[in-house]
Amino acid sequence: MSAPAAVIFDLDGVLVDSEGAWNDARRELVEESGGHWRADAQRTMMGMSSVEWSRFMGEALGVPMSAEAISAAVVKRLERLYRERLPLLPGARQAVTSLASRWPLAIASSANRSIIALVLELAGLTDCFRVAVSSEEVARGKPAPDVYLAAARRIACKPASCAAVEDSANGMRAAAAAGMSVIAIPNDAFPPEDDALALADVVLSSIEALDPGVVGALGG
């Protein structure tokens, strides 16, 4: 194959060390509302769209609120945490800016659209991305390929000519199902299963290792 024509980034766990913040915001809401938190709840919700995880919190974790109200409450808590301190991963800004000088970039994230916009604004990276797509805008969240296919369509590139940067098992499965090359940066807190990691074309230890040479070599 030829070198990728575009690069599509996941957000949570790739650019921001956010899984802990999502976990805290969701767990606090569950406990304060009288629900029942489960040890596997965060891993189960990774990759779900806001519609999917909000429904899960109501039905499986016992939050006595509508899915819309659950989503809004979690987002409000997360926005407060991010405005206090954005957990941008070391090397994320350099990786994005170096790739943006060579390829059109997009975001394909399970985060709510308002959260994506806030993270890019606080990180000073908004202008680096041509488009940003949230799973709440498509029919199915990851591991379905919908959000990646939508991002490729909006950036006017064929999915097979795109490289995806992912940290989670469901994200890797989604990108591979879309027919994209997969650059894996495994999440330390929630390591991807071996079968998902096997879908990656290249595995990096951190985003600090992601540079134009890594992307260009995918066409080698």
Q: pLDDT, tens digit, for every residue of 15-40?
A: 999 878 888 899 999 999 999 999 99
CATH class of the domain at 6-17+87-217: alpha beta
Distance CA 189, CA 19 (A): 8
Do the two domains 6-17+87-217 and 19-84 of this chain adopt the same fold? no
Q: pLDDT, tens digit, for every residue of 6-16?
A: 999 999 999 99
Distance CA 70, CA 177 (A): 30
**Cβ of 75: how many Cβ atoms within 10 Å?**
19
pLDDT class of 144 with cuts at 50, 70, 90: very high
- HEC readout, 68-84: HHHHHHHHHHHHHHHHH
- Taking 70 as the threshold, does the pLDDT of residue 220 lie above it? no
Residue spans per domain, the chain: 6-17+87-217, 19-84
pLDDT, position 173: 97
- Taking 70 as the threshold, does the pLDDT of residue 143 lie above it? yes
Could you tell me which residues are beta bridge partners of residue 164?
8, 182
Domain 19-84 fold is: DNA polymerase; domain 1 (1.10.150)
Mean pLDDT of 161-179: 97
pLDDT, position 160: 97
Could you tell me which residues are beta bridge partners of residue 8?
106, 164
pLDDT class of 1 with cuts at 50, 70, 90: low
Backbone angles phi, psi at 63, to 5 degrees: -75, 120
pLDDT class of 48 with cuts at 50, 70, 90: confident
